[in-house]
């Protein structure tokens, strides 16, 4: 009997390393696929690439930008997704403030200051008591460096052109778990409430002491949440 499959979709300036603790925990019992979000400059393109590489049926675990891709997957081929986990993501498209912030990032990159983008993001990625965590900061910086300026710009184009996913939330019928770190500086409680109001019977977990990167900031707790969730989905 084939093992259940789990597809991971990650956020901007992040590599497969953002899922390393979860891969180690889940690999004994699941077939794991790490979606490639670094070669397309539209959310639709990212979703299509994910669907091409994924098996016919799979659980989808999505973080941040990966959540935008997940919403598109649910619009394109919802019948293939067995369950959905949304971590540190949101449903609306960018407003003026978000667009201006992204344009600021683009200006930095075009001026040859890509490294500064990462440093400007640290305060919104990590809670105050983790911003001096040397190993965690080194990991975040390395993932950004491995992503590189060109791929980051493509990710910005994709994010800035994405559609508002709120109208399509009610069409998501699969079991859904929504996870947010209480100190996440990118998503808000109101945005999580929009997802929970839109997706029927979605479950919400708020992680204390955690920012935008639960998979690395609190790997053991994240592993437990995912293991328990996936075990529940056995049919």
Strands of the sheet containing 31-34, edge to edge, are 31-34, 5-9, 58-63, 81-87, 176-181, 203-207
Structural contact between residues 234 and 227, judged by C-beta atoms closer than 8 angstroms: no
pLDDT band per the 50, 70, 90 thresholds, residue 208 = very high
Mean pLDDT within 110-129: 93
pLDDT band per the 50, 70, 90 thresholds, residue 235 = low
Residue 1 pLDDT > 80, yes or no? no
Q: pLDDT tens digits, residue range 137-193?
A: 999 999 999 999 999 999 999 999 999 999 999 999 999 999 999 999 999 999 999
Percent of the chain with pLDDT strictly greater than 90: 91
Q: pTM above 0.85?
A: yes
Residue 11 pLDDT > 90, yes or no? yes
Domains, the chain, with CATH or none? 1-235 (3.40.50.1820)
Sign for the pseudo-dihedral over CA of 48, 187, 154, 218: negative
End-to-end CA, the chain: 13
Q: pLDDT tens digits, residue range 30-53?
A: 999 999 988 899 999 999 999 999
Structural tokens at position 42:
């539209």
What residues are paired with 103 via a beta bridge?
none
pLDDT, residue 134, reads 96
Q: SS3 letters for 32-58? A: EEECCCCCCCCHHHHHHHHHHHCCCCE
Q: pLDDT tens digits, residue range 71-100?
A: 999 999 999 999 999 999 999 999 888 889
């Amino acid at each position: 009997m084939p093992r259940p499959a789990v597809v991971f979709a990650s956020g901007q300036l992040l590599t497969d390393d953002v899922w390393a603790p979860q891969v180690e925990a889940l690999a004994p019992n699941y077939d794991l696929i790490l979606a490639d979000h670094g070669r397309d400059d539209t959310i639709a393109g990212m979703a299509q690439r994910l669907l091409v590489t994924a098996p016919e049926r799979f659980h989808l675990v999505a973080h941040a930008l990966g959540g935008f891709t997940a919403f598109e997957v649910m619009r394109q081929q919802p019948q293939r997704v067995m369950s959905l986990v949304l971590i540190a993501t949101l449903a609306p498209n960018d407003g003026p403030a978000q667009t201006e912030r992204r344009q600021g990032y683009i200006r930095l990159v075009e001026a040859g200051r890509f490294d500064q983008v990462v440093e400007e993001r640290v305060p919104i990625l990590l809670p105050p008591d983790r911003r001096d965590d040397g190993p965690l900061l080194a990991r975040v910086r390395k993932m950004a460096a491995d992503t590189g300026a060109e791929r980051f710009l493509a990710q910005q184009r994709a994010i800035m052109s994405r559609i508002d996913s709120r109208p399509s939330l009610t069409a998501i019928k699969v079991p859904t778990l929504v996870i947010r770190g209480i100190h996440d500086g990118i998503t808000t409680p109101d945005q999580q409430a929009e997802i929970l109001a839109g997706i029927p019977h979605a479950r919400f977990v708020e992680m204390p002491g955690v920012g935008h990167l639960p998979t690395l900031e609190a790997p053991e707790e994240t592993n437990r949440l995912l293991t328990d969730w996936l075990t529940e989905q056995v049919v």
